[in-house]
Structure 1
Amino acid sequence: MSEATRAAAPGRVSIIVACALPAHGLTRLSAAFDVHYAPDAARREHAIATWGTVVRGVVTNVATGWRAQWMDRLPALEIICAIGVGYESIDVAAARARGIAVTHGRGANTASVADHAIALLFAAVRGIVSNDRAMRAGEWNALRHAWPDLSGRRAGILGLGAIGMAIATRLAAFDMPISYHNRNPRGDVPFDYAPDAVVLAAAADFLFVCAPGGAATHGLVDARVLRALGPDGYLVNVGRGTVVDTAALAEALHARTIAGAALDVYAEEPAVPQRLLDAPNLVLSPHVAGLSPRAEEAYVDGIVANLSACFDGRALPTPVSGSDDR
């Protein structure tokens, strides 16, 4: 039986998985659908060329996205599922114009990202990484000096969606006054609303970036925001790398315009500019905040639920709404 004939077999909906998935995730999807695994450009092109006429669903992530020209080669396509919360690299407007639904993994990784954000804050403020390196080098006294407290300090959250709220909940244990900035103020929270990112940074010792990517937030945290954060302030970014002006951040770190930063996301992943890598007051992790066994299981559960609902003609559990709710 040819690949194309197998893909068109009755009773099995054909989907393309266009990003890396753990083995258990592929097994789960394969139990419900006819999966064509294409986690790189070459296999994606093969999958589109071979099964394009019968593929009804696509699973992707923010790194791969899904372009209008790929949609045009899948005439039976009904749904595109983003694994994570972010979907800015999917051409949502093109999908809607073609009657293709778009969903994302809203809520699947909220706890994991929030936990990681707090870990990054502690690592940056208390010098965990640099102290570890000093100890391994036999330098007991080199970094044995006072490190800043966290309790009672002021936190600012840029993007108070689900992840921002989860971070705020965790910060409450440290008696931190919390301010936030969204496109619009929320009426359901007790936190102070800042009208823009500069005002938010000026009111914060620790600035958490949880905002989604896209044109509306590109470079939102710029040199002005970093100056407002000040020489005792710390930046933690678990949102999108494009929200922070990379060159401005590198300059602020080297000039000690801010005390330090911790990043899990970058403007052009996986590349990190050398100027950032050379900053001693920076803690880095490779976009893993949303990766935990529980989050990965929730991702797959959400994908199966959205695909099944679409193909059964039911309401989608987590459609892309165009809001900033993360």
Structure 2
Amino acid sequence: MATDPERLPQVLVLGPKQGLGRAFSAGFHFIKPWESTMPLDLFLAAHAAAVRAVISTALVAVDAPLIRALPSLGFVFTTSVGVDHIDLVECARRGIAVANAGTIFSRDVADYAVGLLVDVLLHVSASYRYVLRGLWPVAGDFPPRCKLGGKRVGIVGLGSIGSEIAKRLEAFGCSISYFSRNKKPLFPYTYFPTVRDLAAESDVLVIACALTEETHHIIDKDIMLALGKDGIIINVGRGPLVNEAELVKHLIQGKIGGAGLDVFEHEPAVPEELFRMDNVVLSSHQAVLTIESTNDLVELAMANLEAFFSNRPLLTPVHGTT
């Protein structure tokens, strides 16, 4: 006998379609706004009383108004590692449990960060465009590029992603230093107590920390000046970690050497000044998006839902809520 969807735990999915359509067989009913023609506010109002859990991407704010509109909400799962889009204070006040993607994406993001750095230094994309424009036979060889081996790389945020980046860059012969909230004695890298000190002793800054009130614009004008005119910035964290207006200005004025950016301050808007720069590599916030990690994420979301509704410990809890 088929299960009545209305009798199953109701899970609201917010953001782009996540491929979580197997709810019935898993014992849940996923409520998906994109399948309705109703305006979102009316759709949410129609389902608000029944919603017990929310699955959200980083593109949708799970803020206090949304949380208050869902009186039966007890659990939020975000498909991202970062939780800056979730009002954790309101969740804690309501006793709402929160879980995130954990370390699902760490290796993929680390691979992507290294790929951006290789591209910026070795001019892979720029050389490709040079060939496409027919400049090789006309203007001769593309200008010499910089090597990666031996570069001093400073990592801002030595968490699960930052440590994977460090591991990969060690294999290239880079020297690794880092800034983090606390010194990490288990890692053999040089610790700097401030980002400015780290920047002053680095050829490359890789940004891989969480976005919080404290880290907003952690990479500002002073950090860029400390990094210097040959320095490279790689950002695979969140766009607002970098003062984007200052970054654009420093790139235009030649006060830093280049950038590899997967995230931006006002996504999906990207400063058009960056489009014409051969020392800049841009991508559309896709460092986490591999087929394998997406499949793993679906399984992790399901496992966290099952844990929550069975009163078992969450697999990837966000501490500071319940």
TM-score, normalized by the shorter chain, greater than 0.5: yes
TM superposition outliers: structure 1 runs of 4+ over 6 Å: none
TM-aligned CA distance change 1:52 to 1:187, over 3 Å: same
Answering whether residue 29 of structure 2 is matched by residue 34 of structure 1, we say yes
1:33-56 deviation digits (Å, cap 9, x = unpaired): 101112599654244211111110
Matching residue of 1:126: 122
Shift of 1:276: 3.3
Per-residue CA deviations over 1:233-267 (Å, capped at 9, x if unaligned) read: 11100001000000110011111111100100011
Instruction: Indicate the SS of the match to 1:130.
Output: helix
Q: Secondary structure at the match of 1:53?
A: helix
TM-score for the superposition, normalised by structure 1: 0.92
Q: Deviations over 1:193-245 (max 9, x none)?
A: 01111111111111100011121111110111111111221110000100000
Instruction: Give 3-state SS (helix, strand or coil) of 1:175's partner.
Output: coil
1:99-121, CA deviations, whole angstroms, 9 ceiling, x for partnerless residues?
11111101111111111111100
Conservation of the 8 A alpha-carbon contact between 2:13 and 2:55:
yes
Corresponding residue for residue 262 of structure 1: 260
Output the TM-score relative to the length of structure 2: 0.93
Taking the aligned partners of 1:40 and 1:221, their CA distance within structure 2 comes to: 41
Give the alignment partner of residue 83 of structure 2, picking from 80, 87, 98. 87
Cα distance change of structure 1 residues 255 and 235 upon mapping to structure 2, 3 Å threshold: same
Structure 2 residue 49 is matched with structure 1 residue 53: yes
Cα distance between partner residues in 1 of 2:315 and 2:41: 29
Which of 234, 247, 250 does residue 249 from structure 1 map onto? 247
Give the match's secondary structure for 2:72.
Answer: coil
Which amino acid letter does the alignment assign opposite residue 231 of structure 1?
A: K
Deviation at residue 14 of structure 1 after TM alignment: 0.5
Counterpart-to-counterpart distance in 2, 1:189 and 1:43: 51
* Structure 1 partner of 2:58: 62
Verify the 8 A CA contact 2:57 2:78 in the aligned structure 1.
Answer: yes
Residue in 1 that maps onto 2:155: 157
Correspondence for 2:134: 138
User: Is 1:78 paired with 2:85?
Assistant: no
Residues 230/287 of structure 1: CA separation in 2 closer, same or farther (3 Å cut)? same
The unaligned stretches of length 5 or more in structure 2 are none
Change (3 A) 1:75 1:195: same
Shift of 1:166: 0.6
How far apart, in 1, do the equivalents of 2:127 and 2:282 lie? 15
Does residue 281 of structure 2 align to residue 283 of structure 1? Answer: yes
1:215 counterpart SS class = coil
Q: CA RMSD in A?
A: 1.9
Q: Mean alpha-carbon deviation: is it higher for 309-318 or for 269-278?
A: 269-278
Structure 1 pair 148–26 and aligned structure 2 pair: CA distance change class (3 A):
same
How far apart in 1 are the matches of 2:129 and 2:23? 42
**CA distance, structure 2, for counterparts of residue 43 and residue 60 of structure 1:** 18
Q: Distance in 1 between matches of 2:118 and 2:163?
A: 18
Q: 1:142 to 1:40 in 2, by over 3 A?
A: farther
Alignment of 1:220-231 (within 5 A): 220-231=218-229
Q: CA deviation at 1:69?
A: 1.4
- Kept in 1, the 8 Å contact 2:151–2:203? The answer is yes
Give the corresponding residue for 1:3. Answer: none
Q: Which runs of 5+ in 1 are unaligned?
A: 1-5
Q: Percent identity?
A: 35
Answer whether contact 1:62 1:82 (CA < 8 A) is retained: yes
Query: Which residue type is aligned with residue 304 of structure 1?
Result: M
Matched, 1:302 2:300: yes
User: Quick check: 2:92–2:320 contact (8 Å CA) kept in 1?
Assistant: no
Describe the shift of the 1:142–1:56 C-alpha distance in structure 2 as closer, same or farther (beyond 3 A).
farther
CA distance in 1, matches of 2:212, 2:141: 40
Q: Partner amino acid for 1:102?
A: V
Is the Cα contact below 8 Å between 1:226 and 1:258 reproduced in 2?
yes
Q: Which residue of 2 aligns with 1:204?
A: 202
Aligned twin of 1:271: 269
**1:27 match: secondary structure:** coil
Alpha-carbon spacing, 1:123–1:68, altered in 2? closer, same or farther (3 Å): same
Residue 111 (structure 1) aligns with = 107
Say if 1:17 and 1:58, in contact at 8 Å, map to a contact too: yes
> SS of 2:234's equivalent?
strand
